[in-house]
Every structure is written in structure tokens, then in C-alpha cells.
Amino acid sequence: MKLKYISLIVAFLSFSCVEEKESSSINPENWSKRTIDISSKKALEYGKSYLSIYSQIYSITEHRKHNLTSMVSMRNTSETDTIYLLRAEYYDTHGTSVRKYFNSPIYLLPMETTEIVIDEIDVSGGTGSNFIIEWKIPKDCPEPIFEGIMTSTMGKQGLSFTTVSKRIE
């Protein structure tokens, strides 16, 4: 009888082990496939944008927080020109860099969009997290759009809202 209980416990423990999950969708393969050398490209306009993101929001009181899944949507609004993203860096509430998403310029084809997803369990950014995104575009090209989409679902309740970047340089 004891052996039966021990076997049952061992089986339960082996099935209940959860594989550790990456805390944010950092897909280096995606970025490495998009890497491009732009040193030979002339007359590119430089820009820098600030985007607020919320990996947590306050719920009921300032002492209770609700975790969110956050997505940074990076969009090329040009129908004809390729644009270049130089840096996408994630900062926490205190202004400390959490991570950089690519180390070399990447491209977005005309009308193309790419995303960064920050998983709900990744609360490293806190309630006041943000991104700095640096970019270059050809002359007379429309500026890219950077949006934050935050979502969460619990039971039958859903929550979602968006933010839009502001050009700071």
C-alpha cells in the first residue's frame, strides 16, 4: 500500500513540474534575420521616439497591482520606402535599462509591422515602464508609428488599452 502512495506522489510531482518560461518575447532569430548595414545609405533622417508601456497597473489601491501583457507595435507607414530601426530599449519605472532588443539596425519593409511582446509574468518594468526607439527614414518618408497595447484577462473580465509614442528628437 505504501508503495502505491509513493508511486502516486512521484507521478504527481513529475506531471506537476512546469517548464521555466522565458519572461519576455525576445526572439534573436527574428532580429538577426532583419539586420542591415545602413552605413552606405545617404540622406536618412534620424528620429527618436518615447513610448510609455505598462507591465503593471494599480488595482483597487496603490498597494495592489495587476500584471499586463504588453506589446510594442512598430509600424512602417510608408507604402514605398523601407525604414530602419536603430534601437528599441526597455526601461523600468525608475529609468533603469531593463534590456535592448537588437544591437544592429533592422529594417521594416513598406507597410510592414513587427512587435515586441512583454509577457504578463515579466513585471521588471513596473507601473511606469517605457521604450526609447531610434530610427532612420529616407527623406520625405512618413514617420513610423509606435504603439503600446496592454491586455489582461481574468475569468470573464478583460482589460485592454493603448498608448502612442511621442517623437522626442
The pTM of this model reads 0.82
pLDDT value of position 103: 82
Instruction: Write the secondary structure of the chain as one string of H (helix), E (strand) and C (coil).
Output: CHHHHHHHHHHHHHHHCCCCCCCCECCHHHHHHHECCCCCCCCEEEEEEEEECCCEEEECEEEEEEECEEEEEEECCCCCCCEEEEEEEEECCCCCEEEECCCCCEEECCCCEEEEEECCCCCCCHHHCEEEEEEEEECCCCCCEEEEEEEEEECCEEEEEEEECEECC
- For the chain, the structural domain boundaries read 51-169
pLDDT one digit per residue (tens) for the chain, 169 residues? 555 544 544 444 444 444 444 445 555 557 888 899 999 998 999 999 999 999 999 888 898 888 999 999 999 999 999 999 999 999 999 999 999 998 899 999 999 999 999 999 999 999 999 999 999 999 999 999 999 999 998 778 888 999 999 999 9
pLDDT value of position 113: 95
Read off the pLDDT of residues 104-150 as tens digits, 9 standing for 90 and up: 999 999 999 999 999 999 999 999 999 999 999 999 999 999 999 99
pLDDT value of position 26: 54
Name the residue with cell 527574428: 30
